[in-house]
Copies of this chain bind each other. A is one copy, B any other.
Amino acid sequence: MDFSSKLLENAVNEVSRLPGIGKRTALRLVLHLLKQPTDHTKFLSEALLQVRNDVKTCEKCHNISDTILCAICQNSKRNPEIVCVVEDIRDVMAIESTAQFKGLYHVLGGKISPIEGIGPQNLQIDSLIHKVESGEIKELIFALSSTMEGDTTNFYIYKQIEKFNITTSTIARGISVGDELEYADEVTLGRSIVNRIPFSQSLKA
Contact = CB atoms under 8 A, between A and B. Distances in A.
A144 to B, nearest CB: 17
Contact of A14 (B17, B43, B56): B43
A4 B89 contact: yes
Contacts of A104: none
A52 B41 CA distance: 7
A31 B18 CA distance: 11
Can you tell how many copies of this chain the complex includes?
A: 2
B2 A96 contact: yes
Contacts of A189: none
A172 interface: no
Interface stretch (A62-70, A125-133, A160-168, A194-202): A62-70
A184 interface: no
A134 interface: no
A1 B47 contact: no
